[in-house]
């Protein structure tokens, strides 16, 4: 018996959870597919240290009959109304009437000498590692890059006992003034900002500052920071480094959704230009949890046919967008950051392609063909965002550059897989079940 979801949600972060919860209220058959072991996305990882808001939404999800497919990664769109997903060595087709994309965002990394050393990682990545069991107590951490994520990560790591040696925000102080003014109009956000400043007390917070080199033998030992032309070295165990977020657009592009200014274009009801496809959360705008939750609810309600309710929430969404604009302005990347990469600095980490090898090329496609940049397993997800900033190339995010499979998949998965059959729980491997999946019939 084949499974057909009235509404299928891709991504179980805040937007996807809100979409699944809101859509389930209609009584329609809802599926939620996600590539992590547990729902929550990047921001709501690890049940132990979650806030009340996250716990409430996860409990609401638990209370729905929505079928959850954790550990499954969608990589293809073999035919109209069908997505294809893989889990370990299993592959299934998931059919849908309405689709809600809540694929989230990833961090933007900028190449600088030494950024490929072990223990140099994303700001959100180090946070995820700590939530995934990494002992950070007593470790020296430099947090660098841009945006409010830096402070959130520093605060969390500090609470876990890390010594935050420095927080380096690339934006200038004057850019923060309009942003701070906007915070004053947003009590909830203000409270959050205050909490960060308390938790990170004792750390050095620099603006207009960034790492110019990471050094170490086999792994990170020291970071060179630079501010106003002056540079100095600091010893550290981890460098958590993220230059804002870029949306995960690949699946939306594969499904033919129109992209505007680097984001999925949607109407007031989160409908994309592609029929029966909705989009919610960071792929439509980098706006944080509150906005993602609103968009998820709107998409879930609209996909289930509750348009009047969805429209009410759409009004609240418009109010949030003001904060988002302020944030975008405050985090605009300093053009000097384009000089961080030296001739020998690797830009593409999958294929080890250097800055000097790329510089002479006219566009992303040319560079790919000549150097293999962006042709490794990440498919340009890391170097694409970097070259977009370094060279102005429209890259992996451009429509013409997305082809199936949008993630590496087994050759056998490209044929005709099984359709998901119900009911059983073989699609929801418990966190620890990977060793058993070979025996799954």
Partner 1 sequence: MPEQARSLVLKVNGVPVTVASGTTVAVAILMTGAPTRRSVTGEPRGPLCGMGICFECRATIDGIPHLRACQINCAQGMEVLTS
**CB of 96: closest distance to partner 1 in angstroms?**
22
Nearest Cα neighbor of 283 from 261, 301, 314, 313 is 261
Do residues 21 and 60 lie in contact, with contact meaning Cβ atoms separated by under 8 Å?
yes
Distance CA(85)–CA(97), nearest Å, equals 17
C-alpha closest to that of 430 among 66, 48, 9, 68: 68
Q: Work out the number of other CB atoms within 10 angstroms of the CB of residue 404.
A: 15
Of residues 380 through 419, those in contact with partner 1 by CB under 8 A are: 381-382, 408
Report how far residue 167's alpha carbon sits from residue 209's, in angstroms, rounded to the nearest whole number.
9
| Sole binder of partner 1 in the list 46, 207, 345, 426 (CB under 8 A) | 46
Neighbours of 78 (CB within 10 A): 13
Kindly state the smallest distance separating residue 14's Cβ from partner 1, in Å. Answer: 15
- Size, binding site for partner 1 by CB under 8 A: 50
In angstroms, the CA 383 to CA 109 distance is: 8
Contact assessment for residue 194 and residue 152, using Cβ atoms and an 8 Å cutoff = no
Taking the least distance from each CB to partner 1, the nearer of 162 and 378 is: 378
Max distance between CA atoms of the chain, in angstroms, equals 67
Question: How many Cβ atoms are within 10 Å of 429's Cβ, its own excluded?
Answer: 20
Q: CB-wise, 79 or 425, nearer to partner 1? A: 425
C-beta of 125 vs 171, nearer to partner 1: 125
Q: Does 36 bind partner 1 (CB under 8 A)?
A: yes
Q: Within 87-126, which residues bind partner 1 (CB under 8 A)?
A: 88-89, 106-107, 109, 116-122, 124-126
Q: How far is the CB of 104 from partner 1 (least distance, A)?
A: 8
Smallest separation (angstroms) from partner 1 to the CB of 171: 22
- Helix (H/G/I), strand (E/B), else coil: 116: coil
Residue number, 291 or 385, with CB nearest to partner 1: 385
439 touching partner 1, by CB under 8 A: no
Grouping H, G, I as helix, E, B as strand and the rest as coil, residue 121 is: strand
Residue 42 binding partner 1, by CB under 8 A: yes
Residue 290 found at the interface with partner 1 (CB under 8 A) = no
**What residues line the site for partner 1 (CB under 8 A)?**
35-37, 42, 46-48, 71, 73, 88-89, 106-107, 109, 116-122, 124-129, 132-134, 218-219, 248, 346, 349-352, 376-378, 381-382, 408, 431-435, 438
């Amino acid at each position: 018996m084949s499974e057909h979801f009235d509404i299928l949600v891709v991504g179980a972060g805040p937007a996807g959870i809100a979409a699944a919860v809101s859509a389930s209220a209609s009584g329609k058959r809802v599926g939620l597919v996600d590539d992590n072991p547990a729902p929550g996305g990047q921001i709501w990882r690890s049940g132990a240290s979650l806030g009340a808001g996250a716990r409430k939404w996860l409990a609401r999800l638990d209370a729905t009959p929505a079928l959850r497919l954790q550990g499954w990664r969608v990589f293809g769109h073999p035919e109209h109304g069908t997505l294809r997903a893989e889990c370990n060595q299993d592959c299934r087709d998931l059919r849908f009437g309405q689709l809600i994309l809540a694929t989230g965002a990833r961090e933007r990394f900028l190449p600088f000498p030494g950024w490929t050393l072990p223990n140099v990682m994303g700001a959100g990545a180090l946070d995820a590692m700590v939530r995934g069991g990494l002992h950070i107590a007593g470790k020296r951490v430099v947090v660098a890059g841009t945006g409010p994520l830096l402070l959130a990560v520093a605060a969390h790591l500090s609470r876990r006992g890390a010594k935050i040696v420095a927080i380096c925000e690339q934006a200038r102080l004057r850019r923060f003034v309009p942003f701070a003014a906007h915070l004053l109009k947003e009590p909830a956000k203000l409270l959050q900002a205050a909490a960060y400043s308390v938790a990170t007390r004792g750390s050095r917070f620099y603006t207009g500052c960034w790492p110019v080199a990471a050094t170490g033998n086999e792994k990170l030992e020291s970071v060179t920071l630079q501010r106003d032309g002056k540079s100095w070295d600091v010893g550290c165990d981890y460098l958590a480094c993220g230059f804002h977020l870029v949306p995960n657009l690949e699946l939306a592009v594969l499904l033919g959704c129109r992209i505007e200014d680097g984001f999925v274009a949607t109407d007031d009801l989160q409908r994309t230009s592609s029929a029966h496809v909705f989009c919610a959360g960071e792929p439509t705008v980098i706006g944080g949890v509150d906005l993602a939750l609103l968009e998820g609810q709107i998409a879930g309600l609209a996909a289930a046919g509750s348009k009047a309710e969805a429209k009410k929430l759409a009004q609240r969404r418009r109010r949030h967008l003001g904060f988002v604009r302020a944030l975008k302005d405050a985090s605009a990347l300093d053009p000097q950051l384009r000089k961080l990469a030296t001739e020998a600095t690797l830009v593409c980490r999958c294929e080890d392609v250097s800055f000097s090898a790329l510089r002479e090329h006219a566009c992303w496609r040319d560079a790919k063909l000549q150097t293999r940049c962006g042709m490794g397993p990440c498919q340009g997800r890391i170097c694409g965002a970097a070259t977009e900033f370094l060279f102005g190339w429209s890259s992996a995010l451009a429509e013409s550059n997305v082809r199936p499979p949008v993630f590496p998949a087994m050759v056998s998965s490209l044929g005709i897989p099984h359709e998901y059959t119900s009911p059983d729980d073989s699609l929801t491997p418990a966190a620890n079940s990977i060793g058993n999946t070979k025996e799954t019939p």
